[in-house]
C-alpha cells in the first residue's frame, strides 16, 4: 500500500478529498439526469431543451453545467492544493499542441463521456475525474449516473464501488483466464474493418456492446466482461476518455496498456491516446498484448500499437 503522502499533494488528506469527490460526483449525476429527462437541473443551472430536440443544445448545456460544477467545486474546496484543472471543455483554451501543461499534479476531467448514448437515452454515459502526477494517473473516479454507481480507485491503495448511501461493493473480476473464454466489451460506434479483423484474430469467447469508456471498464470491474480494445483510426480517444477508467482499473489490480504493453501517458503535449490499447482484468493481459501485436502487424503493417 502507498502512503497517503505518496499519492496526493501535500496538505490534501485522502478522506477530505474523497468526501468532496462524492459530493461533486452525485451532484453531477443529478445535473445530468435532469438534463437527460428535460427537467429543471439542480444547483441553479439553466434548463435546456428536451433531448428529443437533438443537436448540440442539451448536450452542450449538460456538458457545460457539469464542467462548471466540477471545476468550481475542486477549486473552492482545495484552494491551496497547487494542482491544475483540465477538462475536455477547457482544453482548447488551455492547451498548446506539443506542450505539456507545467503541472506536477493535474486533474483531467470529462464531464460527459458518451454523448451519443446520453442523447439516445441508453443510460450508458459517465463522468470521469482523474488526478495525474507526472504522466501517470494516481486517482480515478468513474461515475455512472443512471446506474447509481461511483467507482473510485487510488493506485496502490485499492478500488471499490459506492452507491448514494455510501455502501461499498468490491471489484469482482471474473475468473476467466483462457483467451478463448474471455468476453470483450466493445464500442457500438467506433468500429471499423481493422478492429473487426483484430477481434477475429484474438479468438475470444464472445462480446457485448456498451457505450462510454467508463461504462465499458465498469463491466470489467463487475466481472461481466474481461477486456476492452481501443483501436485508433482517423480519430483517437483523448486523455480525458482514458485517464479515470485506467486509474480505477489499475487500482483494482487490472491492466490498461498499449498492445506492446507500454504504459499510457498523459499530459505529454498530445492529448490523443492513439494506437491499439487494451484494458483487462490482467489475468491474460500479456498474452492478449502479444496476440494483438502480431495480428496488427498483418492487418495494418506499420501501425504503431
* pTM of the predicted protein model: 0.94
Under the banding of pLDDT at 50, 70 and 90, the label for residue 7 is confident
Across 189-212, average pLDDT: 91
Across 131-137, average pLDDT: 96
Return the axis-axis angle of helices 239-251 and 213-222, rounded to nearest 10°.
10
Which CATH number is 233's domain given?
A: 3.40.190.80
141 and 257 belong to one structural domain? no
Cα separation of 177 and 64, whole Å? 42
188 and 166 belong to one structural domain? no
Boundary residue ending a domain (121, 143, 170) = 170
What is the per-residue pLDDT for 3? 39
C-alpha 208: how far from chain center: 18
Q: pLDDT tens for residues 237-289?
A: 999 999 999 999 999 999 999 999 999 999 999 999 999 999 999 999 999 99
What is the per-residue pLDDT for 226? 98
Residue 229 lies in a domain: yes
18 and 155 belong to one structural domain? yes
Contacts of 98 by beta carbon, 8 Å cutoff, 6+ apart:
269, 270
Boundary residue ending a domain (125, 151, 170) = 170
Q: pLDDT tens for residues 142-154?
A: 999 999 999 999 9
Cα separation of 209 and 188, whole Å? 6
**Residue 118, strand partner residues:** none
Q: Please name the helix (run of DSSP H) or strand (run of DSSP E) that holds residue 154, with its range, or none.
A: strand 149-154
Cα separation of 165 and 161, whole Å? 11
137 and 99 belong to one structural domain? yes
Residue 250 lies in a domain: yes
Contacts of 64 by beta carbon, 8 Å cutoff, 6+ apart:
89, 111
What are 169's three cell numbers?
Answer: 461493493
Residue 305 lies in a domain: no
Residue 304 lies in a domain: no
CB 140 within 8 A of CB 251: yes
What is the per-residue pLDDT for 187? 85
Cα separation of 47 and 135, whole Å? 38
Domain count, the chain: 2
Would you tell me how many other CB atoms lie within 10 Å of the CB of residue 189? 9
Spatial CA neighbour of 269 closest among 297, 303, 239, 301 = 239
Cα separation of 102 and 90, whole Å? 16
164 and 76 belong to one structural domain? yes
240 and 98 belong to one structural domain? no
Which CATH number is 166's domain given?
A: 3.30.540.10
Cα separation of 193 and 173, whole Å? 29
Under the banding of pLDDT at 50, 70 and 90, the label for residue 55 is very low
What is the per-residue pLDDT for 190? 64
Spatial CA neighbour of 109 closest among 82, 81, 137, 147 = 137
106 and 209 belong to one structural domain? no
183 and 162 belong to one structural domain? no
Name the residue range of residue 93's domain.
4-170
Boundary residue ending a domain (145, 170, 195) = 170
Cell 452507491 sits on residue: 163
88 and 152 belong to one structural domain? yes
56 and 157 belong to one structural domain? yes
111 and 198 belong to one structural domain? no
What is the per-residue pLDDT for 93? 94
What is the per-residue pLDDT for 48? 65
Is residue 27's pLDDT more than 50? yes
Residue 74 lies in a domain: yes
Spatial CA neighbour of 145 closest among 14, 35, 15 = 35
What are 256's three cell numbers?
Answer: 490498461
What are 43's three cell numbers?
Answer: 444547483
Is residue 109's pLDDT more than 90? yes
Is residue 56's pLDDT more than 80? no
Across 226-247, average pLDDT: 95
Rounded to the nearest integer, the mean pLDDT of the chain is 92
193 and 134 belong to one structural domain? no
Residue 137 lies in a domain: yes
Residue 33 lies in a domain: yes
Amino acid at each position: 500500500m502507498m502512503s497517503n503522502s505518496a499519492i496526493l499533494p501535500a496538505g490534501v488528506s485522502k478522506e477530505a478529498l474523497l468526501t468532496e469527490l462524492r459530493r461533486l460526483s452525485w451532484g453531477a449525476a443529478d445535473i445530468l439526469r435532469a438534463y437527460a429527462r428535460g427537467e429543471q437541473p439542480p444547483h441553479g443551472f439553466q434548463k435546456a431543451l428536451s433531448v428529443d430536440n437533438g443537436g448540440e443544445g442539451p448536450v452542450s448545456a449538460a456538458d457545460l453545467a457539469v464542467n462548471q460544477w466540477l471545476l468550481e467545486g475542486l477549486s473552492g474546496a482545495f484552494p491551496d492544493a497547487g494542482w491544475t484543472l483540465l477538462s475536455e471543455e477547457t482544453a482548447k483554451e488551455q492547451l498548446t499542441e506539443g506542450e505539456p501543461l507545467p503541472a506536477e499534479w493535474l486533474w483531467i476531467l470529462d464531464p460527459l463521456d458518451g454523448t451519443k448514448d446520453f442523447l439516445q437515452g441508453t443510460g450508458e454515459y459517465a463522468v470521469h475525474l482523474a488526478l495525474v502526477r507526472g504522466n501517470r494517473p494516481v486517482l480515478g473516479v468513474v461515475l455512472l449516473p443512471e446506474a447509481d454507481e461511483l467507482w473510485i480507485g487510488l493506485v496502490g491503495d485499492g478500488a471499490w464501488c459506492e452507491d448514494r448511501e455510501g455502501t461499498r461493493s468490491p471489484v469482482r473480476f471474473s475468473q476467466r483466464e483462457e483467451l478463448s473464454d474471455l468476453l470483450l466489451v466493445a464500442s457500438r460506434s467506433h468500429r471499423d474493418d481493422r478492429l473487426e479483423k483484430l477481434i477475429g484474430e484474438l479468438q475470444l469467447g464472445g462480446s457485448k456492446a456498451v457505450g462510454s469508456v467508463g461504462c465499458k471498464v465498469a463491466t470489467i470491474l463487475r466481472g461481466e466482461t474481461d477486456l476492452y480494445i481501443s483501436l485508433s483510426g482517423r480519430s483517437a480517444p483523448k486523455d480525458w476518455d482514458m485517464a479515470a477508467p485506467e486509474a480505477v482499473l489499475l487500482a483494482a489490480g487490472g491492466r490498461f496498456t498499449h498492445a506492446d504493453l507500454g504504459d499510457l501517458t498523459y499530459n505529454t503535449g498530445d492529448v490523443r491516446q492513439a494506437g491499439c490499447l487494451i484494458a483487462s482484468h490482467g489475468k491474460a493481459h500479456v498474452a492478449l498484448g502479444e496476440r494483438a501485436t502480431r495480428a496488427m502487424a498483418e492487418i495494418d503493417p506499420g501501425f504503431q500499437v
